[in-house]
Structure 1
Amino acid sequence: MGHKGEETKQRMIEVMAGLLEKTGYEATGLTELGKETGTPKGSLYFHFPGGKDELTSLALLHSGNELNLFFQSVLRDTESPAHAIKQVFHALEERIISSDYQKGCPIATTAMETIGSVPSVANVCNEVYSSWLKTFEFYLVGKGYSPRIAKNLSLSVLSLWEGALLLSKLQKSPEPLRVAAKTAELLFKQN
């Protein structure tokens, strides 16, 4: 595959990632993808022989990696876990507000839709969440937390922001994220 083919493939992955975040797996059709990317439906199967499930998996990995790189940059540039978590929640709040409450977690909707119906995609969702957790656990262990406490705190923070993102989208309000951020900060001040 040439340079142009690689660019087309990458563009399809990125557009699919945005569509999945906005509308989820079930509501994202290949026709819509073709319109958004300007490619014929046949191009999908040329670039992704595994069809929609393969493209979805790659799009989720792309989104998950992008967000994980963001988490790593925030963690690297902050002086304390409480401050780092505050920064993460603040960035998630800015992201959801700037998208007019269209963007939340790039993985959650697809994860919920595919758990019982498309195991290969659900497994990728789990892989992305696991990578995020490992990023936070590694950071916390580096800040002196025991591996067990780091694991528990990471899972708690992820659960807080996932629930807060959902409620913020539903209510079209940043308030759930703000409350969850304060709760997350308290977790670190107590440990």
Structure 2
Amino acid sequence: MDTKSLLIETATTLFQQKGYKTVGLNEIIKACNVTKGALYHHFPNGKDELLITCLHALKEDITTDIEVIFSKHSSTEDALISMIDTLIRSFETDGTITGYTFSSIVSEMATMSEPVRSACSELYENIENIYCTKLLADGFSDETADSISLLLTATIEGAMMLCLTQQSADPLKTIANLLPNLLKRFS
């Protein structure tokens, strides 16, 4: 893996696990076993630029993962259950959902930096658009699909945060059981 990719991957994991403010550049440099000069070569504007790059990489990874899952299923309900099952397996295997959630970064930084807020907003918009597209294919109206997409994004992201804080996959399991009935109520 090249140095830039290593910095992005390592920083993303550390930011998700510990929060942006808690992680210092020295910790990232040490974890990557690179020099400070190497970090500034790739990210001349330092930690903020690295964070925004990490968020863009997360956007690509998360969007791709969700699109792959959704492309394998004919209905929104089946795709959501499959996606949530993937999150549950990830949590139960690794004890975390790192790589899928970025709420800690959003809550910490979105009001402090317009570029960070914008990068976070783009990721949420991508996720909502994937849900919305599938809901439209299921026959929901534009307005209903938009509303349900927002609800799904907030619900799933919130459940992931609850899993992390409770150290239990139960919140994701609960929404996996409730979402199919919720979707039926809107159809």
Q: Same fold (TM over 0.5)?
A: yes
Say yes or no: does 1:52 pair with 2:40.
Answer: no
Considering Cα pairs closer than 8 Å and 6+ residues apart, tell me whether 1 or 2 has the greater RCO.
1
Give the direction of change, closer, same or farther, for the CA distance of 1:130–1:102 in structure 2 (3 Å limit).
closer
Work out which of the residue numbers 69, 72, 81 in structure 2 matches 1:74. Answer: 69
> For the residues of structure 1 that align with 2:86 and 2:183, how far apart are their CA atoms?
19
Q: What stretches of structure 1 move > 6 A for 4+ residues in a row?
A: none
Unaligned segments of structure 1, at least 5 residues: none
TM-score between both structures, scaled by the size of structure 1 = 0.90
Say yes or no: does 1:185 pair with 2:168.
Answer: no
> For the residues of structure 2 that align with 1:77 and 1:96, how far apart are their CA atoms?
22
> Percent of pairs identical after alignment?
27
Alignment of 1:7-156 (within 5 A): 7-101=2-96, 103=98, 105-156=100-151
RMSD, aligned CA: 1.6
Contact kept in structure 1, 2:67 and 2:130, CA below 8 Å: yes
Work out which of the residue numbers 159, 162, 166 in structure 1 matches 2:161. Answer: 166
> For the residues of structure 2 that align with 1:92 and 1:61, how far apart are their CA atoms?
20
TM-score between both structures, scaled by the size of structure 2 = 0.92
- Partner AA of 1:49 in structure 2: P
Unaligned segments of structure 2, at least 5 residues: none
Aligned length: 186
- Partner AA of 1:86 in structure 2: I
> What whole-Å deviation, never above 9, does each CA across 1:140-189 have from its counterpart, x for those lacking one?
22232221111111111111111111111111111111111222222222
